[in-house]
Amino acid sequence: MSSDTQKHHELLSAIKAAQGKQDGSFETAVTRAFEHVFEHLDRLNSHVSTGGSEGDERPLKPNESATLR
C-alpha cells in the first residue's frame, strides 16, 4: 500500500474513532484531514500550466471543470 493511501486510511480511522467524543479530538482529526486535502490541491495546482505571456489563467477547455485546473 502506498504511503499516501496509508495516510488516507489513518486520517479516516482517526475521524471515525473520534466521532461523538467531546474532547476536541474529532475537530482535530477533521482539521488534519482537510490539511491533507489542501496538500493534494496544492500539488494539483502546481501541475497546471498558465497561459499567456502575462501568466494569466488560460480559458477553460470544453467540459473542463474550473475546480480542477
The full set of domain ranges for the chain reads 1-46
Average pLDDT for residues 34-43, to the nearest whole number?
92
| pLDDT tens-digit series, residues 1-13 | 688 899 999 999 9
Q: Where are the alpha helices (DSSP H) in 1-69?
A: 3-18, 25-46
Average pLDDT for residues 6-21, to the nearest whole number?
96
d(CA 12, CA 36): 11
Q: What is the pLDDT of residue 68?
A: 54
Cell 482517526 belongs to which residue?
14
Percentage of the chain lying above the pLDDT 70 cut: 72
Q: What is the pLDDT of residue 43?
A: 83
Give 69's pLDDT tier (boundaries 50, 70, 90): very low
